[in-house]
């Protein structure tokens, strides 16, 4: 075990300006326990008075080795870890992982499962944006928005609990379909939410969008142009706030997005306000998708009947020897996947969530890599905070919508 070394300025010499070495500017540590860092992010700031000269993000405080752990589990069991990455978008993570597995072993998914996946993913997107809006308001001292947003988010979590028995760590979407069908109360619960929520979004907007104190903190702050965004691999609402119309749901429709009628909001200002307004608009668009999916929810099975990859339903196990054998084999050994690699990406609330899944012919993956949107979105931070005040850093950081579990994996 190596000795813990005292951290010295020499380590950061190439990242700060020369004035820091003479003591003309100040180095200030922000985080990892700072409330506005949304978890455990540390930012080393070089300050000239209150103006930021350089910012050096330091990540890894929440590193849990999920990629490594997934390599040691079968494909079915590894899915449980995917929830723990981006804990604001658990259904979306399940979806990204399951789509990668389905692509790797070439598995079909029934129509009903796709529709339910669609409803839940879009509800999860709203829930994630609600938490973001809550924290964003809180960082800018709008406390009441925080309370309202969490109240509405609770309704979505209740729907998730109704389906999966869990509020957050659902593991509801499984390779080849879903864990089980939704209960009968599901439709009423979602319809309740659909009729209740639009008025609430208006309420948030009434509190924030034209509030001069709020606008003063946002307009023209943290500007990012499209070229910088693409160079830094920024995706999702942040990229669309900089004027690039790129949404995987439209560009490369998966899960049947091409059958739904919705818009992708795009703004060109690239500042913190654009990133705020885009997410509010996205919540309204997601509602449209949920409503359409619910209206045409088809009947039928929710799991593929390819028994080589998908465990049989409980009712079959009691009466069919073959089903019992499949059940036993799938949960003890798992299924072998080809010795090949696939990359499958979905649009998470934060951007492109990609899974690079590589099989080695056995029942465990050789490599699972998560291309997480927060990681790349955060890497642009030093570029866009330069020259702003420390208080603006809080607003900019909040507008990036980072989830540390997503960054550190």
Partner 1 sequence: MDKKLETIVQALQENFGVTIEEFRGEVHAFVKAEDIIAALTLLRDKYDFELLSAMTATDYWPQVSPRFHVVYQLTSLARNLSVQLRVPLEDGHPSIPTATGVYEVANWRERELLDMFGIIPEGHPDPRRILMPDETEGHPLRRDFPLGYEEPQFTFNFEEIDLRKPYAKE
Binding site for partner 1 (CB under 8 A): 1-5, 11, 14-15, 59-60, 63, 65, 67-69, 71-72, 103-104, 106, 230-233, 235, 244, 246, 251-252, 340-343, 345, 352, 354, 356, 358, 366-367, 369, 371, 375-376, 379, 408-409
C-beta closer to partner 1: residue 181 or 408: 408
Residues 6+ apart with CB under 8 A from 67: 367, 368, 369, 370, 409
Q: Could you give the maximum distance between any two Cα atoms of the chain, in Å?
A: 79
CA distances from 397 to 61, 122, 226 (A): 17, 24, 18
In eight-state DSSP terms, residue 288 is H
C-beta closer to partner 1: residue 218 or 378: 378
Displacement of CA 366 from its chain's centroid (Å): 24
C-beta closer to partner 1: residue 131 or 244: 244
User: Taking the complex as a whole, how short is the minimal distance between the CB of residue 65 and partner 1, in angstroms?
Assistant: 6
User: Taking the complex as a whole, how short is the minimal distance between the CB of residue 366 and partner 1, in angstroms?
Assistant: 7
User: Taking the complex as a whole, how short is the minimal distance between the CB of residue 297 and partner 1, in angstroms?
Assistant: 29
Contact between 57 and 232 under an 8 Å Cβ cutoff? The reply is no
Helix, strand, coil percent values for the chain (each to nearest 5):
50, 10, 35
C-beta closer to partner 1: residue 230 or 390: 230
Sign of the torsion formed by the C-alpha atoms of 122, 123, 129 and 133: positive
Sign of the torsion formed by the C-alpha atoms of 162, 165, 168 and 169: negative
Distance of alpha carbon 241 from alpha carbon 401, whole angstroms: 13
User: Taking the complex as a whole, how short is the minimal distance between the CB of residue 15 and partner 1, in angstroms?
Assistant: 7
C-beta closer to partner 1: residue 116 or 239: 239
Distance of alpha carbon 199 from alpha carbon 194, whole angstroms: 10
Distance of alpha carbon 378 from alpha carbon 408, whole angstroms: 11
In eight-state DSSP terms, residue 312 is P
User: Taking the complex as a whole, how short is the minimal distance between the CB of residue 81 and partner 1, in angstroms?
Assistant: 13
C-beta closer to partner 1: residue 11 or 263: 11
Q: Is the peptide bond before 173 cis (omega within 30 degrees of 0)?
A: no
C-beta closer to partner 1: residue 164 or 344: 344
Contact between 408 and 60 under an 8 Å Cβ cutoff? The reply is yes
Contact between 90 and 165 under an 8 Å Cβ cutoff? The reply is no
Contact between 47 and 23 under an 8 Å Cβ cutoff? The reply is no
Distance of alpha carbon 249 from alpha carbon 293, whole angstroms: 15
C-beta closer to partner 1: residue 73 or 329: 73
User: Taking the complex as a whole, how short is the minimal distance between the CB of residue 59 and partner 1, in angstroms?
Assistant: 7
User: Taking the complex as a whole, how short is the minimal distance between the CB of residue 397 and partner 1, in angstroms?
Assistant: 16
Spell out where 109-246 has E strands. 173-174, 177-178
User: Taking the complex as a whole, how short is the minimal distance between the CB of residue 252 and partner 1, in angstroms?
Assistant: 7
User: Taking the complex as a whole, how short is the minimal distance between the CB of residue 108 and partner 1, in angstroms?
Assistant: 14
C-beta closer to partner 1: residue 2 or 184: 2
């Amino acid at each position: 075990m190596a000795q813990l070394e005292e951290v010295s300025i020499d380590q950061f010499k190439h990242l700060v300006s020369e004035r820091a070495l003479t003591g003309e500017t100040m180095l200030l540590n922000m985080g990892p326990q700072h409330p506005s860092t949304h978890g455990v992010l540390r930012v080393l700031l070089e300050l000239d008075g209150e103006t930021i000269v350089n910012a050096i993000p330091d990540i890894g405080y929440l590193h849990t080795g999920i990629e490594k752990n997934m390599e040691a589990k079968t494909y079915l069991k590894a899915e449980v870890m995917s929830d723990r990455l981006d804990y604001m978008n658990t259904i979306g993570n399940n979806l990204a992982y399951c789509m990668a597995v389905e692509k790797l072993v070439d598995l079909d998914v029934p129509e009903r499962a796709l529709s339910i996946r669609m409803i839940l993913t879009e509800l999860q997107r709203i829930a994630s944006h609600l938490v973001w809006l809550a924290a964003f308001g809180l960082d800018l001292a709008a406390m009441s928005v925080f309370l309202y947003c969490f109240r509405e988010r609770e309704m979505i979590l209740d729907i998730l609990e109704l389906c999966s028995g869990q509020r957050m760590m659902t593991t509801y979407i499984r390779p080849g379909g879903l864990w089980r069908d939704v209960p009968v109360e599901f439709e009423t619960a979602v319809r309740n939410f659909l009729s209740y929520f639009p008025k609430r979004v208006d309420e948030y907007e009434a509190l924030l969008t034209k509030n001069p104190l709020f606008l003063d903190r946002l307009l023209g702050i943290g500007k990012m142009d499209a070229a910088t965004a693409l160079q830094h691999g920024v995706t999702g609402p942040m990229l669309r706030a900089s004027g690039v119309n790129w949404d995987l749901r439209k560009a490369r429709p998966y899960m049947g997005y091409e059958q739904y009628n919705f818009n992708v909001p795009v703004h060109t200002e690239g500042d913190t306000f654009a990133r705020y307004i885009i997410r509010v608009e996205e919540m309204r668009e997601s509602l449209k998708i949920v409503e359409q999916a619910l209206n045409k929810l088809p009947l039928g099975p929710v799991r593929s009947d390819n028994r080589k990859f998908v465990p049989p339903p409980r009712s079959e196990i009691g009466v069919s020897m073959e089903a019992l054998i499949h059940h036993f084999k799938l949960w003890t050994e798992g299924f072998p996947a080809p010795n090949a690699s696939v990359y499958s990406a979905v649009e998470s609330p934060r951007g492109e969530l990609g899974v690079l899944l590589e099989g080695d012919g056995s029942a465990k993956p050789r490599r699972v890599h998560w291309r997480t949107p927060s990681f790349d979105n955060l890497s642009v931070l030093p570029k866009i905070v330069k020259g702003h005040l420390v208080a603006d850093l809080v607003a900019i950081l909040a507008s990036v919508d980072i989830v540390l579990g997503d960054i550190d994996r």
